Homo-oligomer: A and B are copies of this chain.
Amino acid sequence: MGSVVSERAQRPSADATRQRILEAALDAFADQSFDGASLRNIASVAGVTQPLLNYHFRSKADLWRAVVDELFDRLNVTLGHHLRSLVDVEDRIVVHHMVRRFVEFSAHNPQLHRIITSECRADSSRMDYLVEQHIRPLYDAVTTLFARLAVAGDLPDIPPAHLYYLLTGAAPTMFVLGPECRRLSGLDPTDDDVIRTHADAVCTLLFGATHPQTGEYLPPSPPLTGRAHD
C-alpha cells in the first residue's frame, strides 16, 4: 500500500487539517468564550500541536475571525439558498419561511448565538467586527425587506423593538441555553416541532396573531388595559 493514492490518504492534506482546526476552534470559542478557550486545547482536539495554529492562522484573534467568517458564510448560504427556492410565494409567507430557516439554523448551530453573546461588551474589538462585518448587513437587509413589505401594505407596521428581536432577541437565547433548555423543560431545541413553534412564536411577536375564522391580523397588544396602576 505505497502507491500514489495511498500517499494522499496518509497525509490528511493541509486543507483538511485547517478545517479540523476551524471546527475545534468553533466549538471551543462557543463553549468557553474567547479567553476561556486555549490554543493548546483547540490543537489537541484537532489532533495537532499548538504552534500549528499560529502557522495557519497568524494569531488567536485571526483564528477567531476565520471561525466567525466561516460560520456566517454558512448562515448566509443557507438563507440565500432557501430564499431563492421561494418563487411565486406571497411576501408574508416568505418572511415566515425565512424566520423558520433562521431558527432552524440557530438550532443546529448553537455556536452562532453563543459566540455573539459571549463577545458582547462595550469595548470589544471582536464585537465591533461581528456587528460591522456580519450582523449589520443582516439587520439592514431585514429592515429593508420589512420596509418594502410595509409600503406594499402586505405587513402591518412593525415596532422597531419587535424587529430587533428577530435577529437578536427571540430566536437566539433558547439555543444559547440549549443544554439548560433540555435540563429545565425537557425540550429539544433541534426537534422539528419545537423549531416550528419557535418560528411561529417569533412571527406572532412580529405580526400579531391571526384570527382563526376571519384570517384578520391582530397586532401584538398588551393584555393590560390602559389604566395601569402602581
Residues of A within 8 A of B (CB): 31-36, 82, 85-86, 92-93, 96-97, 113-114, 116-118, 120-122, 127, 131, 135-136, 139, 159-165, 168-170, 172-174, 176-181, 183-187, 194, 196-201, 203-205, 207-212, 217-224, 230
Contacts and interface: CB of A to CB of B under 8 A. Distances in A.
A163 to B, nearest CB: 7
Provide the main secondary structure of the chain A interface. helix
Contacts of A32: 35, 121
Contacts of A172: 173
Contacts of A199: 222
B116 A177 contact: yes
A198 to B, nearest CB: 6
B224 A218 contact: no
Copies in the complex: 2
A218 B222 contact: no
A26 B93 CA distance: 44
Contacts of A187: 160-161, 164
6 contacts: A82-B230, A117-B176, A127-B179, A139-B185, A165-B201, A173-B173
Residue among A36, A163, A168, A224 with the most chain B CB within 10 A?
Answer: A224
A178 to B, nearest CB: 8
A177 B120 contact: yes
Contact of A31 (B31, B116, B121, B159): B121
B136 A184 contact: yes
A158 to B, nearest CB: 11
Given A187-B160, A222-B200, A131 B180 contact: yes
Contacts of A230: 82, 85-86, 97
